[in-house]
Amino acid sequence: MAQPFQVVRPPAAVEPLLRAQDVTLEYRSGARTVRATDSVSFDVYQGDRFVLLGPSGCGKSSLLKAAGGFLAPTAGSITVNGARVAEPGPDRVAVFQEFDQLPPWKTVRQNVMFPLLASKRLKRKEAAERAAHWIGKVGLSRFADAYPHTLSGGMKQRVAIARALAMQPEILLMDEPFAALDALTRRTMQEELGLLWEETRFTLLFVTHSIEEALVLGNRILLLSPHPGRVRAEINSHQFGLHSGGSAEFQAAAQRIHGLLFGGDERAAPEEQERIAL
């Protein structure tokens, strides 16, 4: 029998950095209104690696867009440091799976440098150095002077990831950013993301439909039901990492999460909630 997930609650005096409270998100599809999420609530604390996990269509990407200020809730609210999120801000840098908005007249190097210079965070020399560092991390040093039209879709996404990581935001929003990468590069980017977090302890809000990726990258995971997304459970996974995949404990945790996601119950049983919900 699988052991219960360990629950580590922040001190009562600590306020969440980001709070989603009873968030319902809807969008128009032709003549009808589609509900993406239904009354979803969660708290993200400073330094969390918080993962939204669930099947396709559960509204996890919509929640990320709402946290970034790109989508307004139909009901409920999202706040950062107590202030309601109403629009995008430099404290929240997003990388979306479908991101393909690299200015075509700028090289890879210039694309990564651009937000650093536009935000006046760094001078040109320092921005160029940081851009070169992250371009190297995503394996594109040989393409630093290439233009976007010469890159594959996966390479463009890697540029977008380098650009976001170079900004070192307070909250990094990532919507399945590694999905377009090959397995080896995906693993490398997961490692680099982990190293960056170790160095700067920024707050990460990460969307994935991969249970394994959620376990290795997240320290807290919100499980969402199929459409419309509702909270099924919230667990801690801080005991796992990139080198945990072969362990019996990791495999048992993955199986247990699968059961919570697809077991048929709307939420975990009350006694399970007591052990795994924060």
Q: Are 175 and 66 within one domain?
A: yes
pLDDT of residue 156: 84
What are the b/e assignments for 46-59, b being 16+ CB within 10 Å?
bebbbbbbbeebbb
Tell me the backbone φ, ψ of residue 50, rounded to 5 degrees: -100, 125
pLDDT at 4: 41
pLDDT at site 154: 77
- From the list 269, 82, 80, the residue with the least C-alpha distance to 170 is 80
148 plus 241 within the same structural domain: no
- At 224-255, the pLDDT tens digits run 988 888 999 998 888 887 777 678 888 888 88
Contact status, residue 228 vs residue 37, Cβ threshold 8 Å:
yes
**Which residues make beta-bridge pairs with 159?**
none
Are 229 and 106 in a shared domain? Answer: no
SS3 call for 176 = coil
> Tokens representing 52?
């939204």
| Helix H or strand E encompassing 221 | strand 220-224
DSSP per-residue letters across 225-251: -SSSB-EEEEEE-TT--TT-TTSHHHH
- Extract the tokens encoding 17: 């950095």
69 and 161 housed in the same domain: no
Say how far apart CA 117 and CA 36 lie, in whole Å: 36
Specify if 206 maps to a domain: yes
Please report where in the chains the tokens 């990831």 appear, as a residue: 161
Within a domain: 10: no
**Amino acid in the structure at residue 88:** P
Task: Please check whether residues 138 and 232 belong to one and the same domain.
Answer: no
**Dist. CA 60–CA 128, nearest whole Å:** 34
Q: What is the pLDDT of residues 4-42, one digit of tens each?
A: 444 445 555 578 999 999 999 988 777 888 888 899 999
Residue 219 confidence (pLDDT): 93
Per the structure, how many domains does the chain have? 2
What is the average per-residue pLDDT within 121-127?
A: 92
pLDDT digits (tens, 9 = 90+) for 74-92: 999 999 998 999 898 878 8
Please say which residue of 168, 197, 217 terminates a domain. Answer: 168
Verify that 190 and 59 share a domain, yes or no.
yes
Token pair for 28: 């128009």
Same domain for 138 and 272: no
Residue 261 lies in a domain: yes
CATH code (residue 271): 3.40.50.300
Question: Do both 66 and 176 map to the same domain?
Answer: yes
Q: Is residue 135 part of a domain?
A: yes
Helix (H), strand (E) at residue 200: helix 183-200
Quickly tell me which residue has 């005096």 as its tokens: 13
* 231 in a structural domain: yes
Q: Which of 168, 191, 221 is the last residue of a domain?
A: 168
In the chain, % of residues over pLDDT 70: 88
Last residue in a domain, options 136, 168, 200: 168
Same domain, 108 and 141: yes
Q: What is the C-alpha to C-alpha distance for residues 195 and 245, in angstroms, rounded to an integer?
A: 18
278 and 182 part of one domain: yes
Q: Is the peptide bond before 270 cis (omega within 30 degrees of 0)?
A: no
CA gap 205, 132 in Å, rounded: 25
Region 153-167: mean pLDDT is: 84
Instruction: Give yes or no for residue 2 having a pLDDT over 60.
Output: no
Q: Which domain holds residue 218?
A: 44-73+84-91+170-278
